[in-house]
Chains A and B, each alone.
Chain A
Amino acid sequence: MTETRHERAPGDRPSREIDASAPSEFLVYSIGLFVAALLTATSFWTANTTLLWSGGVVLGLAVLAIAQMGIHLVFFLHISSGPESTNNVLALAFGALIAFVVIAGTMWIVADMNANMMMPPGAPMGMRMQH
């Protein structure tokens, strides 16, 4: 019982004495492998098929990748929503936030700068320097 007082280490499963209804750990890993393989195969199919509208392929691949990262976190790293895993989830959420800000912010800023560097054809070179 003392274990429930503490947070759970990341990567650890709740022990069977506390939660007897928990599925066996071998089964959890096997389900994770199966679902991850399915998602990977779908990603390869999405990238190569001509059935889908090509404009949506990138978005579809991103969704599949995020889904697979979630599968890895839940089935391989055993991140859960339980109270004993709050610290792990909070740290993960902070890391994901920073990663999102770094990636999205960089792409936004650089795309904006690229757009601002574009000169309209025929415009004098020094136009933007004048105020």
Chain B
Amino acid sequence: MNIAIAIDQIPQEPLPSASEAGPAPKRIVVAYGFWIFLLSDIIMFAALFASYAVLVRSTAGGPTGAQLFNQATVAIETACLLFSSYTCGLMSLAVNSRRYFRTYLGALITFVLGAIFLGLEIREFVGMIAIGAAPQRSAFLSAFFTLVGCHGLHVTLGLIWLTVMMVQVAVFGFAARVQHRLLCFSLFWHALDIVWVGVLTVVYLMGVSS
């Protein structure tokens, strides 16, 4: 009769720590490894930000940021990237609950918004080069094209990656490895948006306000 009480009184064993629980599931290992890669990518962007901040006054008599930047374009670009980050998050929810239609819809909106961002950025670059503000004009413009162009290159790679992932979803379904890759993609896309917040503030807003 007292056995039940005795069992109740046995102290609950605490959960073993992470090191005692054996290897972590692959999803965690994959995402953590990609997290490390993203942080190293952000350190690379930090170097580009540093060179931009050093060279921003070195216009060599050429056009300055305040003369070149169009805030309306930048506002649309920012809105596109922020909203695509949101739809990317909704897509990863659909992936976790294994819903095909919502996944495709989220991926499509994310892709279209990313493509609009990229189109606006390329139009801005082409317009700047057309009026003689090419990368070789001044150190400021070299640093500008390197920093913003590197971010644009990341967005381009992200769009290609997203297309490949949708093909993989169509072919393999929600296999575990496809889900791991989609988790990495959403981390990548959110990290790009964080970098863009820095670009927007340091390059465009500080460029026109000072």
A-to-B contact residues, CB < 8 Å: 1-2, 4-12, 25-26, 29-30, 32-33, 36-37, 40, 43-44, 46-48, 54, 57-58, 61-62, 64-65, 68-69, 72-73, 76-77, 87-88, 91-92, 94-95, 98-100, 102-103, 105-107, 110
Contacts and interface: CB of A to CB of B under 8 A. Distances in A.
Contacts of A8: 28
B89 A6 contact: no
B210 to A, nearest CB: 7
Contacts of A88: 32, 35
B61 interface: no
Contact of A72 (B24, B43, B71, B85): B85
Contact of B42 (A10, A47, A95, A110): A95
A95 B183 CA distance: 20
A130 to B, nearest CB: 29
Given A29-B86, A33-B86, A47-B205, A9 B42 contact: no
Nearest to B90: A29
Given A6-B18, A6-B25, A61-B201, A103 B50 contact: yes
Given A29-B93, A106-B51, 7 more contacts: A7-B28, A10-B35, A40-B78, A57-B209, A91-B36, A103-B46, A106-B54
A9 B28 contact: yes
A65 B203 CA distance: 12
Interface of B: 15-18, 20-21, 24-25, 27-28, 30-32, 34-36, 39-40, 42-43, 45-47, 49-51, 53-54, 71, 75, 78-79, 82-83, 85-86, 89-90, 92-93, 183, 186-187, 190-191, 193-194, 197-198, 200-202, 205-206, 208-210
A69 B30 CA distance: 23
For the residues of A in contact with B, the DSSP-based class is helix
